[in-house]
Chain A
Amino acid sequence: AQKVTQAQTEISVVEKEDVTLDCVYETRDTTYYLFWYKQPPSGELVFLIRRNSFDEQNEISGRYSWNFQKSTSSFNFTITASQVVDSAVYFCALSRGGQGGKLIFGQGTELSVKP
């Protein structure tokens, strides 16, 4: 069975601090995809990144970076120099390989960035 665990329910930081959101997943599939979505107070899920199971390269996009490690089944997300606008709930999700796979979401981590 597939499962995603985000152990951190809530995180509070002060602006400009770095923060890492943890994600651990379980799957028996050899081909799978991992995602991060951001859900601001408005409620819409905003796509941030997608990673496939064959690509363990870390990725950086501006202040965002992602660390994918198959050996520990983790796909962690780091925000550098956090800003108030980063305040949101962040979800990690897992999908099976192939087309049209449903997303299995973690419980989400609520990030609060205070000025």
Chain B
Amino acid sequence: EAGVAQSPRYKIIEKRQSVAFWCNPISGHATLYWYQQILGQGPKLLIQFQNNGVVDDSQLPKDRFSAERLKGVDSTLKIQPAKLEDSAVYLCASSSPTVIFETQYFGPGTRLLVL
């Protein structure tokens, strides 16, 4: 079974530029998550989708971040305009609800450096 795919793996941009990240979840996984991991910290949830609907985006800085999951499969996370503090690893995860609980499986992440 293929894992969660993310691209690009690395991105360097200047502040005020825009950037987009792509995620393809594990086949059949209805739930998709985007996490931000700042260096030296644990990941923090930005947004959670169930199929193509948003479940939780309370921690998403909506003035500059946006995300979509068209057709309930792939997802795109965008930052516009980027700030220095957005430098981080952006992790995508997916899960498939079971009867009791679900485990999130993560992709390799996109490392973003904002100069």
Contact = CB atoms under 8 A, between A and B. Distances in A.
B42 A44 contact: no
Given A35-B103, A44-B108, A52-B100, A102 B42 contact: no
Interface string B42-71: 111100101000011000000000000000
Interface in B91-105: 91, 93, 95, 97-98, 100-105
A75 B102 CA distance: 19
Given A43-B89, A43-B108, A44-B108, A106 B42 contact: yes
Contacts of B89: 43
Chain A interface size, as a band, is 20 to 34
A63 to B, nearest CB: 21
Given A103-B45, A107-B42, A44 B107 contact: yes
A102 B101 contact: no
Contacts of A42: 108
Chain B interface size, as a band, is 20 to 34
A33 B108 contact: no
A47 to B, nearest CB: 6
A108 B42 CA distance: 6
Nearest to B95: A100
Nearest to B102: A99
Given A47-B106, A52-B100, A102-B56, 11 more contacts: A35-B103, A43-B108, A91-B42, A91-B43, A93-B42, A98-B101, A99-B101, A100-B31, A102-B45, A102-B48, A108-B40
Interface of B: 31, 33, 35, 40-45, 48, 50, 55-56, 89, 91, 93, 95, 97-98, 100-109, 111
Interface of A: 4, 33, 35, 37, 42-47, 50, 52, 91, 93, 95, 97-100, 102-103, 105-108
